[in-house]
Amino acid sequence: MSRHFSMLREFQLADWFTLANAFCGTGAVFAAMRFLQDGRVADLMAGMALIPLAFIFDALDGRVARWRKSSSTLGRELDSLADVISFGLAPAALAYACGMQGGWDWLVLSYFVGCGVSRLARYNVTAELLAGDEGKVKYFEGTPIPTSLVLVVVLAVAAWQGSIGTELWWGQLQLGPWQLHPLVLLFALSGSLMISKTIHIPKP
């Protein structure tokens, strides 16, 4: 008698670390929304603190998979989906909460998330092509999406100094009908580096 598919039965130990990564990223998005609702900087800082934790879980899931020799296509897809939340959507939400709320900011932050999604999709599609004889991908094309942790650190320093909202570093510009906060251009740069095909970074 056939049994219905159970997602939980298919999960490996490494997959639970991947889900913890996604859990942290989702918590960071909720913290950004809570800050916008109540204005408590402590909520914002707590959300930012979840991104380094997500980074740790992201690093551990790969190590656990190699240790248990349990890597799978499901695990790779889970990893990408979790990374989109924690290192794509969450940093963009935190940036918005910090004050990057102009029309041009929206476009840049959406571009950043789109680059992250594209970067992960390309990696999943080309992983087998990039793998050497050992079956392991030897390098990343473009910067890995977890490098957006650097952006969150920048935001955390700004929040700690009180340089958010109207006090956001580098001020704001009025370009046509919309506002642009120059600090958001760091997200444009990060996104562009993710989708670069000329940048090759050795994969540990």
- Is 6 within a domain? no
pLDDT of residue 132: 53
In three state form, how does the secondary structure of the chain look? Answer: CCCCCCHHHHCCHHHHHHHHHHHHHHHHHHHHHHHHHHCCHHHHHHHHHHHHHHHHHHHHHHHHHHHHCCCCHHHHHHHHHHHHHHHHHHHHHHHHHHCCCCHHHHHHHHHHHHHHHHHHHHHHHHHHHHECCCCCECEEECCCHHHHHHHHHHHHHHHHCCCCHHHCCCCCEEECCEEECHHHHHHHHHHHHHCCCCCEEECC
- Is 75 within a domain? yes
- Is 4 within a domain? no
- Is 69 within a domain? yes
pLDDT of residue 73: 66
- Is 73 within a domain? yes
- Is 2 within a domain? no
**Tally of structural domains, the chain:** 1
CATH of the domain at 28: 1.20.120.1760
- Is 3 within a domain? no
Mean pLDDT by 10 residues, the chain (204 residues): 57 84 98 97 98 95 68 77 97 98 98 96 76 61 94 98 97 97 98 91 72
- Is 193 within a domain? yes
What is the tens place of the pLDDT at every residue in 85-136?
Answer: 999 999 999 999 999 999 999 999 999 999 999 999 988 887 666 655 555 6
User: If you average pLDDT over every residue of the chain, what do you get?
Assistant: 88
Output the pTM of the full model: 0.89
Owning domain of residue 39: 12-202
